[in-house]
Amino acid sequence: MRKIAIFILALVISLPLAEGKKAPVAVKKLPPTARGAVQAKEVSLVRVNVTGQPYDYFRPWQKKAPFSKRALGAVLPHGRVLVTADLVANENYVELERAESGDKTAATVVVVDYESNLALLEPSEKNFLNGLQPLDLALDTVVGDKLSAWQLEPTGALVVTEGIVTTIGMSRYPADIADFLTYRLSIPMQYRDNSYTVPLVKNNKLAALLLRFDPRTQVMDAIPAAIIAHFLKDAASPHYQGFPSLGISFFPTRDPELREYAGEDNKGAGVYITAVEPGQPAAKAGLQAGDIVVAVDGHEIDKNGNYVDDLYGKLGFGNLINGKAYVGDSLPLHILRQGKPLTINVKLEHRNEENYVVPPYNIDEPPSYYVLGGLIFQELTRQYLKEWGANWQKDAPQDFVYLDKFQSELFPEGHRHVVILSQVLPANGTIGYDDFSYLVVKKVNGKEIESLADLAEAVKTPINGFHVITTEDDPKQLELSAAEVEQEAQALQKNYGLPALQRLQ
């Protein structure tokens, strides 16, 4: 319930890239003196030009047409440049450009984290960033602070727009994995071609990075320095771990009837655990649905799920998990189980995207597929569903959206994927099957299919010369002649321009 509300909010305000030059807004250009003050050290920004080429999940053997994005990167110590992960998603080529001179150099992505939407770049020329003062982080931003959005004019001149932090809270990031700490600002910023990543600066220190912006309401969400610091600390270690998670869903205990039912001790605190994701840290530590979490790491949790943060005040307790703690940390949870107090230590882990039944994102990696005699099999991923566009939740096949959304409920045992028959390429062997698409595959040649690898294995042993495909819904069964599949493989590949008939991870 809670999840849904927040999710919808996130959708509404996701990056309006194409909004372009709507609604002229007053942009305060710094007076020459002020600008000079900053430029004396040279603005710690570089332009970042990215050519990205996403995979085409409808034709999983190919990539879509390349397109370019321009953005700004914040120069950090150790010769690195910070940008949002969105910018470098599915990149083919990344280039840094000095704003004032126009000098360019190629760059590599050192670390990218799509969940926190952050990425670190490194120029191929070591001295490329010389003369640029690296930005330190401003970790002390609170509600009411003024932050400056830094953008560049085509000439390389700095444009500064000031905004005010109106709210600091937890919100959904674009990868839709979890809520992270977010600043919300009211800011009359103008969208420019370099606005993919916009640094927000406080006293010449990096306070945040643009997450999303709605030019109509002039409301911006930004990734706080605290999340950036977490990312950088992690990135400094030899193996990037990512942000940790618990694997629970919870519900407020505002309702006195629910509190009484759950055996809460009348202090009126804590949240009700509605579900524990199997195989995830909370489940491993023994947390159960029905428990009430009253404190995390010594911070009391109120009945809405907030703790009191030293800096921000009341804040969703998710920040104690993914904002303040790291993978490998052991976090004590104080709970009530049927009224009895217990302390459970949870060893935090990061949940990799392939660790979901329906992975929430697949970026930079080619989609797997298997073409059998014209039947195209794929694994169900949210990336695939997103091919239906911004309204994918309404437009994509509804049983797939349902599978994605309720995956932990439908597959409590986890450790599997969902293989689908996504479409049929008409061929001699698929006559009569042309209308079938978007079917969940249950078995192939009598073997349960829980991954594309299972399928690849199962097709090695046809039954009496037939490949027998069993689907969850109608038509329930399809058969192909194994000999015909083999005979026609080359012709099919040639006819439809398939570089290969399969790609497995």
Partner 1 sequence: MQNFRLLFCVLAFFIVVAAQAQPNGEIQNSLVRITSTESEPDYRAPWNSGMIGRAVGAGFIIDGQRIMTNAHVVSNSRYLTVEHEGDPNKYPATVQFVAHDCDLALLQVQNPNFWKSMKPLQFGGIPALESTVSAYGYPIGGERMSVTTGIVSRIDFNLYTHSAIDSHLAVQISAQINPGNSGGPVLQNGQVVGVAFQGYSGDVAQGVAYMIPTPVIRRFLKDIEDGHYDRYVDLGITYFKLQNPAQRHYLGLKDDDRGVLVGTVIQAGPCAKALQQGDVLLAIDGHPIASDAFVEYEGERVQMPEVVERKFKGDSVKLDIWRNKQPITASVTLGTVWPYLMQGHSYDIRPRYVLYGGLLFQPMSLDLLEAYRISDLRIRHYFDFFVSDQLYLKHPEVIILTNILPDPTNTYLTPFRDSIVDEINGKKIGTLQDLARAFEQPADRFVVKMIGDGPPLVLDPKKVEEARERIKTRYNVPVEQNLDEQPPSRPAVASRGSI
Q: Where along the sequence are the contacts to partner 1 (CB under 8 A)? A: 1-2, 249, 251, 254-258, 260-261, 272, 274-275, 289, 393-394, 398-399, 401-402, 405-406, 408-409, 429-433, 464, 466, 468, 473-481, 484
At residue 188, the 3 state secondary structure works out as coil
Closest CB 426 distance from partner 1, rounded Å: 12
Burial tier of 464 (Cβ tally within 10 Å: 0-12, 13-18, 19+): exposed
Q: Least distance to partner 1 from the beta carbon of 69, Å?
A: 32
Which is closer to partner 1, CB of 129 or CB of 485?
Answer: 485
**Taking the complex as a whole, how short is the minimal distance between the CB of residue 180 and partner 1, in angstroms?**
22
Q: Which is nearer to partner 1, 58 or 251 (CB)?
A: 251
Residue (115 or 291) nearer to partner 1, CB: 291
- Measured between alpha carbons, how far is residue 152 from residues 205, 275, 427, 475 in Å? 17, 47, 54, 58
Report the C-alpha gap between 287 and 321 in whole angstroms.
15
Comparing CB distances to partner 1, the nearer of 96 and 418 is: 418
- 121 CB-contact burial (10 Å; exposed 0-12 / middle 13-18 / buried 19+): buried
Q: Residues 362, 495: contact at Cβ < 8 Å?
A: no
CB of 298 to partner 1, least distance (A): 26
CA torsion 341-345-349-355 (nearest 10°) is: -50
CA–CA distance, 267 with 269 (Å, rounded to integer):
6
Please state the closest distance from residue 423 (CB atom) to partner 1, in A.
Answer: 16
Which of 128, 272 has the CB closer to partner 1? 272
Q: What's the min distance (Å) between Cβ of 446 and partner 1? A: 13
> Based on the number of CB atoms within 10 Å of its own CB, is 20 exposed (0-12), middle (13-18) or buried (19 or more)?
exposed
Non-local CB neighbours of 33 within 8 Å, separated by 6+ positions: none
Residue 217 exposed, middle or buried by CB count within 10 Å (0-12, 13-18, 19+): exposed
Q: Which is nearer to partner 1, 88 or 458 (CB)?
A: 458
Least distance between partner 1 and beta carbon 393 (Å): 8
Residue whose entry in the numeric block shows the structure tokens 């999983």: 60
CB proximity list for 191: less than 8 A, separation 6 or greater: 16, 19, 20, 21, 22, 213, 215
> Minimal distance in Å, beta carbon 172 to partner 1?
17
Nearer CB in complex with partner 1: 1/26: 1
**Whole-Å CA distances, 177 to 21, 65, 115, 232:** 31, 28, 7, 20
CB of 430 to partner 1, least distance (A): 7
Rounded least distance, CB 466 to partner 1, Å? 5
CB of 272 to partner 1, least distance (A): 5
- Contact by Cβ (8 Å): 389, 258: no
CB nearer to partner 1: pick between 345 and 461: 461
When the beta carbons of 194 and 253 are compared against partner 1, the nearer one is 253
Q: How far apart are CA 219 and CA 226, in angstroms?
A: 20
What is d(CA 199, CA 110) in angstroms, rounded to the nearest whole number? 19
Q: 129 vs 371, which CB is nearer to partner 1?
A: 371
Conformational region of residue 3, where left means phi above 0, alpha means psi within -120 to 50, and beta covers everything else = alpha
Which phi and psi angles does 42 have, rounded to 5°?
70, 130
Residue 103 or 255: which CB sits closer to partner 1?
255
Given CA atoms 394, 395, 399, 402 in this order, what sign does their dihedral have?
A: negative
